[in-house]
Chain A
Amino acid sequence: MRSTTSSPGSLRLIIVAAALCTFCSVSSKGDENTLSFNSDVRTILSDKCFQCHGPDQEALEADLRLDSFAGATAMREGFDRPAIVPGDANASALLERITTHDKGDLMPPPKIKKPLTAAEIDILRRWIEQGAKYESHWAFLPIEKPEPPTVSNPDKAKNPIDNFIVAAQEAKGVSPSAEADPYTLLRRLHLDLTGLLPPAELIEKFSAAFKKNPDGAVSIVADQLLNSPHHGERWARHWLDQARYADSNGYTIDGERTMWPYRDWVIRAVGDDMPFDQFTIEQLAGDLLPNPTKAQLVATGFHRNTLINQEGGTDAEQFRDEEVIDRTHTTGAVWLGLTVGCAQCHTHKFDPITHQEFYELFAFFNSTEDVNNTGPTVEISEGELFLFDSNPELNGELAAAQKKFAALDGSAAKAKRQTDWEAVRLTDLVDTSSADWSALDAQKFSAEGGASMKKLDDGSLFAGIGAKNETYEILYRPADNAADEGGNTPTPIAALRLRVLPDDGLPKRGPGLAGNGNFVLTHFEIWQGDRQLIVKRVQADHSQPGHEVGRLIDDDEQTGWAINVGEGTPSGVKMNAEHEVHFVLDEPINISADETLRIVLRHNSAANSNYNIGRFAVDCSPTPPAEIKDNTLLAALRTTADIRDDAQKKLLTTAFASADTERQKAVSELAAIKRKLGYGPSAQAMVMRELKTSRQTFLHKRGSFLDFDKELGPLNPGVPAALPALDPADKAKPATRLDLAKWMVRDDNPLTARVTVNRVWMRYFGHGLVETENDFGTQGSNPTHPKLLDWLSRRFIEDGWSMRKLHKLIVTSATYRQSSHARPDLKEIDPLNQLLARQNRIRFDAEIVRDAALSASGLLAPKIGGRSVRPPQPDGIYAFTQRKPTWTEDTGPDRYRRAMYTQFYRSAPYPLLTTFDAPDFQSVCTRRPRSNTPLQSLTLANSEALFELAQGLGKRLLELEGDDSARIDAGFAWCYGRRPNESERVTVLTFFQDQLQHFQKNADTAKKLADSPTGAAWVTVGRALMNTDEFITRE
């Protein structure tokens, strides 16, 4: 009896056998009548027969395999003849069974409802007659390097891509379309390479250059765009689809997660043209590289994008298992273009991936530390991933400072310093010296997020409502200096005082801007030149419980000083009153007349983002202030260490933390270096880390994490036998993720390059050379241009896996540069445009819809990378979710960032994105569908987020010099990158005049749109221009 279990070895043998006995070659139809297994026969067998006569041993019927020559022609026990007798259809049992009239014998069995058609039966008959030659599946064969074919009209070919495309067209008697006009081309190149609209000033310039030298003009613009940081954003977004990137955990709770550092990493890597092999290795196994850099660790966030279930009562192991399954599935889909997920529950019915092989792939990912909602992170600052290598010297300093800090931050070192401090502090408490406060004079002041600030008569500063989490920066000069005629006597300063002041113009009279008059001040920095001054003691007249004043100078970004009253606040203390906080400097300073102190007030609390201070003043004193009496602290200090209660311990730890000048110095040093480097606040990025001891992996019976196949025993990590063998670095040990990653991008891997090149092609033409870009297995479609696919793949590898070179090659080809206008003559011959005798019109991806509107409005904030942002969103998005996240609209530049930075909640994504077919990133997305619905129309026409951009465009039009016609021309240039034709100009002009009249009659309505009826009429023009099909289509 034959064994019914399959081993990888036997599978490989079959494939090899198939290859040997069939003189296999990637299908090329020889003479018209010779059938090819790959292009004519495989689909039929795969669709109709493999389910029971394919690779799945569990489902195998009658011990017959039709997926290999050996299987199909074998004499089986109990049967009088083989299923297939090569060259003799009539002697083949298969033919008899598919043509019999006996319903009980007929194959496929009528109950599975997959009858063969007469044409299919004829093909099988002829194929058997011709010798039943099998071929290996094309995608598993090595990538060849075909010669570009010659074409009869070489003018049509600008590079080898065109030779392949035009040759196929010529074979069908089809000629390519003319090159698109320069306006269309420029817009196409911008949208495809950066996702933004071309700047107006470039349009006519390019057109002129193009007329002189089309190839040169295209090449120059392509290079410029490929080097633009926005190119990194555009193509990072495509990759993030595959990474299933989102800013939340998914499932029911769907809490926020910090994933943006990974997004930054992708943007940077794509922008730098990191070779795709390295790009692959760092994401799949950056943590396993020798001495990985922080960036390489952040790269492993790729596989931390899996869902996390935070619901109570969940079994963490179940969801860890789901994550590993998702990682396996995603890896297969992204790099191999294979549907390995099918083998989760049973051996793949169609492709040679066994149930066991799925869990051998799974084993690579089964030993990381993260378990559902816990996992390793690394600290990363905003901007760091773009800047960490910008200044080697400063980065050296940073590394040294970090090392020093780590030493200081050790618990033993800390405890020692605290003991010393306690002794000094006890003496200090009797210090009665008092301060002599005098006002500091604000010379210059500004708010980073754009809040208006003014200086009041008493010298204090008043801030209006600005961005959330505002930062104020003030340059102060001691007021006394003005009186010092010589100006040479430096003013000594030992302490500073911040007074927060009530004001009638503030909510509940302030002093804060929050609804109740509160604020949360998270940082108060004092800078003399480039030196941040160290504060050794801080005290306030009153602190809100939980927001003690010490939190002002700790190094936690989020915590700070606030003034609400609460449990423990002495009676009589009010929130909406003047309060003060004192900062005693570590060493008194002297400040000369021409010098200023720079003071920075930060409000970084994410939970209280609009809690900014409304009015304040700063004073200085040459002597330190007396202690604001704190009996609890004194009591704690006087209690000997071993009998202190927990509250006292905590009090002292907190008090010491804010007085730990040594540590603060180190923190401040770090901050100063980071500031010089341009770093922003830090966050914890989710990364992968391998367990020291691997988990055992078992085959899950029917895919269940509770039902391990213990009889089969633990599995070692491995790759499917149908693909080239793994070559682990250390053969004595089980293979690692790093081995897998390197195997993915080995140049004999037949899939990775083909799959990758095909997806890039798909972005440029709307469909890939292989239509089923996510299925390169036997159930997928065959390439329309197999040799072109191989040529491009080989070239991609030879170009060092450079994406930029691949992009350049494609966008400079004549094929890419064709007009996208319909070709009625091709409707019958090539309805799906597989011959590419024209370009395709492609509606923008969801994000680009908004990005284009931002470009046209002139409001785009071009900053690259960083935390996610919150543009306007209609109310009620969370009416249907269990948890209701707060959505505080950004008011500063962050309101106008590219849509790829919009905070993404999986349970209730930003509506514009889903309406325009962005997936919800529950799982890998290799290709988005494109729908065309009324909800899209409503969004474009009416949503606040887009309408305010239409208003921006209207304002831009209004402010343009020239007559109405010139404005319409400009609108067309900004939105469509072209000039209107006469009919379009008249249509729009007529509309404008009607609207103008309408608004002149209805001035109150007009006021809601713009300052004047004319302005309002231009807003309506801008809105219409942003609502056409052309606006959201790459032509």
Chain B
Amino acid sequence: MNQTERRKLQDAEQDFVLSQTRRHFFQSSGVGLGGIALAGMLGTPEVRAAARSRLGHYAPKAKNVIYLFMAGGPSQFEMFSDKPKLRELDGQVAPDSFFPKDKSFAFIGKGAKLLGSRREFDHFGDCGMELSGLLPHLGGVADDVCWLKGMTTDVFNHGPAKLFINTGFQVPGRPSMGSWVTYGLGSESSDLPGFVVLQSGPRGPRAGNALWASGFLPTRYQGVPFRSGGDAILHLNNPEGIDAHSQSNFFSLVGDLNRQRLETTGDPEINTRIKAYEMAYRMQTSAPELMDIKAEGEKTLGSYGAEVGANSFANNCLLARRMVERGVRFVQLYHTDWDDHGNEGTNLGPPLEQRCKEIDQPAAALITDLKQRGLLDETLVIWGGEFGRTPMGEERKSLIGRDHHIDAFTMFMAGGGVKPGMIYGESDELGFSVTKEKVHVHDLQATILHLLGFDHEKLTHRFQGRDFRLTDVHGHVVHDILA
């Protein structure tokens, strides 16, 4: 067994001890951790290792995920969806059919007026994807991307909607997508966490911690926030006054004392503790090395628009690539402030322009860079917010924007086994509802898990008497978009 296998085996054994019931995960599949845990109890180390090597339910297309989360709800009308009819009816009161009895919006109500997009659109690539002038760089990778223009979700408040897309449920407490994935696949890295969260923009995303929490899964699978400045990980630096010599001797003393105690008590958990300290010590070197983007050189930095020392989406995109290269399984980037309820002018104004500018070049550069390095095939890039915005305008005093809209919005994916250069989904001429190729959030989750080799109905965890899963009791894999 090599080191990685050994560690995975330890993980499996530990999971078993941690598991809250006798039937844990992947039940009945005959493979996966349930079987492994049993083998771990009964079998020889070789049997156990063999069991461990069969993970997942299918051969995966994607190994890693980079999820670019646009917190606040980017406006598809200003970015992805030109609607001439909406422009034609601009200023007219929205039809009553937009306000059925069981439907409400966060802020607007009957009487709201339609708002046509003021943005210029153009077609890009062989697929002919429509993009506004706000996204020139993404136009350049249009044929590498699968554009999902028929997205729908269930919830219209930010916090619950973010929870919904990340955990499959709108109330906090369930494991996030990144936790499920690292729980299912383990981590490839021996000196970095398997699930990392990065953040840029003026503030953190609403609902915070719960978005990358592990819920009822062991906390080892929760997302670890890395900061772009200062210590990347909490407590990564030695306390003041502890230099390299002290630190190294400290780790060996702790190891010595732990080994002596292991001998006395015979508890294998001490062995895990010893390993954890060894990895902690390695992380003190590997994390700063990871975060040091100087080594990338001017050209690469320039292509992303990254700057050494900045806390930007561009830097985070570059870091995400570096993490994936080092075996981090799931990287999630939050970029905040897309919640354009009311800005100056009628084109959603300078804030939207600024947001687009911040993400357009780096997101395109990330896709190109991954492709050039041969990493795009095994890395799934996802871009999108928790919902879209209404075809109706929202007036806040003299400012104009759009309210939250859950019935039709746009996301995109690239690499990792999705069809490149595909446009999937359409909405009606006013962009209110999806008319073709609808993808509900649970379908998206099912599809992402599928690409990683999981049957979303089988990646489950038993908690308080029920088998929980990311897609709750819903979701269908969108086979049309699989490469």
Contact A988:B269 (CB < 8 A) given known A313-B106, A882-B204, A931-B219: no
Asked whether, in the complex, the Cβ of A1023 is within 8 Å of the Cβ of B250, the reply is yes
Contacts of B272 in A (CB 8 A): 932
> Would you call A328 an interface residue if the criterion is a C-beta within 8 Å of the partner chain's C-beta atoms?
no
Residue of A nearest to B171 (CB): A322
Which chain A residues in 1003-1025 approach chain B with CB under 8 Å?
A: 1005-1009, 1016, 1019-1020, 1023-1024
> Would you call A475 an interface residue if the criterion is a C-beta within 8 Å of the partner chain's C-beta atoms?
no
| Interface size counted on chain B using CB atoms at 8 A | 90
Residue of A nearest to B266 (CB): A822
Which secondary structure characterizes the binding site on chain A?
A: loop
Asked whether, in the complex, the Cβ of A884 is within 8 Å of the Cβ of B203, the reply is yes
Which chain A residues in 881-927 approach chain B with CB under 8 Å?
A: 881-882, 884, 906-909, 911, 914-915, 917, 920, 922-923, 927
> Would you call B28 an interface residue if the criterion is a C-beta within 8 Å of the partner chain's C-beta atoms?
yes
Q: Which of A880, A917, A944 has the most CB of B within 10 A?
A: A880
Partner of B203, one of A771, A882, A987: A882
Partner of A938, one of B28, B234, B240: B234
> Would you call A731 an interface residue if the criterion is a C-beta within 8 Å of the partner chain's C-beta atoms?
no
Asked whether, in the complex, the Cβ of B21 is within 8 Å of the Cβ of A775, the reply is yes
Q: Which of B83-91, B220-228, B314-322, B434-442 contacts A (4 or more CB under 8 A)?
A: B220-228
Asked whether, in the complex, the Cβ of A113 is within 8 Å of the Cβ of B171, the reply is no
Asked whether, in the complex, the Cβ of B279 is within 8 Å of the Cβ of A934, the reply is yes
Contacts of A884 in B (CB 8 A): 203
Contacts of A988 in B (CB 8 A): 253, 257
Asked whether, in the complex, the Cβ of B107 is within 8 Å of the Cβ of A878, the reply is no
Contacts of A936 in B (CB 8 A): 276
Contacts of A911 in B (CB 8 A): 234-235
> Would you call B476 an interface residue if the criterion is a C-beta within 8 Å of the partner chain's C-beta atoms?
no
Asked whether, in the complex, the Cβ of B207 is within 8 Å of the Cβ of A251, the reply is yes
Residue of B nearest to A938 (CB): B235
Asked whether, in the complex, the Cβ of A311 is within 8 Å of the Cβ of B157, the reply is yes
How far does the alpha carbon of A591 sit from the alpha carbon of B84 in the complex, in Å? Answer: 88
Q: Which of A47, A254, A326, A909 has the most CB of B within 10 A?
A: A254
Q: Which of B60-68, B208-216, B350-358, B377-385 contacts A (4 or more CB under 8 A)?
A: B208-216
How far does the alpha carbon of A314 sit from the alpha carbon of B159 in the complex, in Å? Answer: 10
Asked whether, in the complex, the Cβ of B261 is within 8 Å of the Cβ of A879, the reply is no
Contact A907:B280 (CB < 8 A) given known A917-B219, A1024-B254: no
Asked whether, in the complex, the Cβ of A920 is within 8 Å of the Cβ of B267, the reply is no
Contacts of B269 in A (CB 8 A): 841, 843, 932, 1029, 1033
Which chain B residues in 171-214 approach chain A with CB under 8 Å?
A: 171-173, 193, 197, 199, 203-210, 213
Contacts of A33 in B (CB 8 A): none
Asked whether, in the complex, the Cβ of A780 is within 8 Å of the Cβ of B465, the reply is yes
Residue of A nearest to B254 (CB): A1027
Asked whether, in the complex, the Cβ of A939 is within 8 Å of the Cβ of B276, the reply is no
> Would you call B264 an interface residue if the criterion is a C-beta within 8 Å of the partner chain's C-beta atoms?
yes
Contacts of B225 in A (CB 8 A): 879-880
Contacts of A491 in B (CB 8 A): none
Contacts of B216 in A (CB 8 A): 929
Asked whether, in the complex, the Cβ of A821 is within 8 Å of the Cβ of B243, the reply is no
Asked whether, in the complex, the Cβ of B265 is within 8 Å of the Cβ of A841, the reply is yes
> Would you call A774 an interface residue if the criterion is a C-beta within 8 Å of the partner chain's C-beta atoms?
yes
> Would you call A941 an interface residue if the criterion is a C-beta within 8 Å of the partner chain's C-beta atoms?
yes
> Would you call A572 an interface residue if the criterion is a C-beta within 8 Å of the partner chain's C-beta atoms?
no
Contacts of A881 in B (CB 8 A): 203-204, 208-209
> Would you call B96 an interface residue if the criterion is a C-beta within 8 Å of the partner chain's C-beta atoms?
no
How far does the alpha carbon of A929 sit from the alpha carbon of B24 in the complex, in Å? Answer: 14
CB distance from B441 to the nearest CB of A (A): 17
Asked whether, in the complex, the Cβ of B29 is within 8 Å of the Cβ of A113, the reply is yes
Contact A1029:B203 (CB < 8 A) given known A822-B266, A938-B234: no
Contacts of A341 in B (CB 8 A): 464, 466
Partner of B157, one of A314, A771, A821, A935: A314
> Would you call B389 an interface residue if the criterion is a C-beta within 8 Å of the partner chain's C-beta atoms?
no
CB distance from B233 to the nearest CB of A (A): 7
Q: Which of A165-173, A513-521, A956-964, A990-998 contacts B (4 or more CB under 8 A)?
A: A990-998
Partner of B270, one of A309, A915, A1029: A1029
Partner of A1024, one of B106, B210, B257, B265: B257
Using C-beta atoms within 8 Å of the partner chain, give the interface range for chain A: 35 or more
Asked whether, in the complex, the Cβ of A933 is within 8 Å of the Cβ of B207, the reply is no
Asked whether, in the complex, the Cβ of B236 is within 8 Å of the Cβ of A252, the reply is no
> Would you call A56 an interface residue if the criterion is a C-beta within 8 Å of the partner chain's C-beta atoms?
no
Residue of A nearest to B270 (CB): A1029
How far does the alpha carbon of A991 sit from the alpha carbon of B106 in the complex, in Å? Answer: 63
Contact A931:B218 (CB < 8 A) given known A944-B239, A1028-B257: yes
Contacts of B213 in A (CB 8 A): 920
CB distance from B426 to the nearest CB of A (A): 28
> Would you call A124 an interface residue if the criterion is a C-beta within 8 Å of the partner chain's C-beta atoms?
no
Asked whether, in the complex, the Cβ of A933 is within 8 Å of the Cβ of B220, the reply is yes
How far does the alpha carbon of A617 sit from the alpha carbon of B273 in the complex, in Å? Answer: 58
CB distance from B280 to the nearest CB of A (A): 4
Contacts of A250 in B (CB 8 A): 172
Which chain A residues in 114-163 approach chain B with CB under 8 Å?
A: 114-115
> Would you call A686 an interface residue if the criterion is a C-beta within 8 Å of the partner chain's C-beta atoms?
no
Asked whether, in the complex, the Cβ of B18 is within 8 Å of the Cβ of A931, the reply is yes
Contacts of A929 in B (CB 8 A): 18, 216-219
Asked whether, in the complex, the Cβ of B159 is within 8 Å of the Cβ of A987, the reply is no
Asked whether, in the complex, the Cβ of B21 is within 8 Å of the Cβ of A781, the reply is yes
Contacts of A1035 in B (CB 8 A): 265
> Would you call B59 an interface residue if the criterion is a C-beta within 8 Å of the partner chain's C-beta atoms?
no
Contact A821:B218 (CB < 8 A) given known A351-B465, A932-B14: no
| Binary interface encoding of chain A residues 331-369 relative to chain B, with 1 for a CB under 8 A from any of its CBs, else 0 | 001000011011001000011000000000000000000
Contacts of A1028 in B (CB 8 A): 254, 257-258, 261
How far does the alpha carbon of A349 sit from the alpha carbon of B262 in the complex, in Å? Answer: 45
> Would you call A3 an interface residue if the criterion is a C-beta within 8 Å of the partner chain's C-beta atoms?
no
CB distance from B188 to the nearest CB of A (A): 15
Asked whether, in the complex, the Cβ of B205 is within 8 Å of the Cβ of A882, the reply is yes
> Would you call A772 an interface residue if the criterion is a C-beta within 8 Å of the partner chain's C-beta atoms?
yes
Contact A824:B199 (CB < 8 A) given known A322-B171, A908-B209, A931-B220: no
CB distance from A213 to the nearest CB of B (A): 27
Asked whether, in the complex, the Cβ of A1020 is within 8 Å of the Cβ of B22, the reply is no
Residue of A nearest to B284 (CB): A938
Contacts of B419 in A (CB 8 A): none
Asked whether, in the complex, the Cβ of A942 is within 8 Å of the Cβ of B239, the reply is yes
Asked whether, in the complex, the Cβ of A775 is within 8 Å of the Cβ of B465, the reply is yes
How far does the alpha carbon of A341 sit from the alpha carbon of B174 in the complex, in Å? Answer: 14
> Would you call B141 an interface residue if the criterion is a C-beta within 8 Å of the partner chain's C-beta atoms?
no
> Would you call A943 an interface residue if the criterion is a C-beta within 8 Å of the partner chain's C-beta atoms?
yes
Chain A interface residues toward B at CB < 8 A: 47, 113-115, 250-254, 307, 309, 311-315, 322, 326, 333, 338-339, 341-342, 345, 350-351, 706, 771-772, 774-775, 777, 779-781, 820-822, 824, 831-832, 841, 843, 874-876, 878-882, 884, 906-909, 911, 914-915, 917, 920, 922-923, 927, 929-939, 941-944, 947, 981, 983-984, 987-988, 991, 994-995, 998, 1002, 1005-1009, 1016, 1019-1020, 1023-1024, 1027-1030, 1033, 1035
Can you list 24 pairs linking A and B with CB atoms under 8 Å apart? A113-B29, A114-B28, A251-B207, A252-B158, A309-B159, A313-B107, A774-B463, A774-B464, A775-B465, A831-B41, A874-B235, A880-B197, A882-B207, A906-B209, A917-B218, A931-B18, A938-B234, A942-B235, A942-B239, A991-B249, A994-B249, A1020-B250, A1023-B242, A1024-B254
Nearest 3 A/B pairs, CB to CB: A822-B266, A1008-B241, A252-B206
Chain B interface residues toward A at CB < 8 A: 14, 17-18, 20-23, 28-29, 41, 102, 104, 106-107, 157-160, 171-173, 193, 197, 199, 203-210, 213, 216-220, 222, 224-225, 227, 230-231, 233-243, 245-246, 249-250, 253-254, 256-258, 260-262, 264-270, 272-274, 276-277, 279-280, 283-284, 334, 458, 463-466, 473
Beyond the given pairs A307-B171, A908-B209, A1024-B257, 18 more chain A to chain B contacts, judged by CB atoms under 8 angstroms and listed by A's residue number, are: A113-B458, A309-B157, A309-B160, A775-B464, A775-B465, A779-B21, A781-B22, A831-B41, A843-B269, A911-B234, A929-B216, A935-B235, A938-B233, A938-B235, A1007-B241, A1027-B254, A1028-B254, A1030-B261
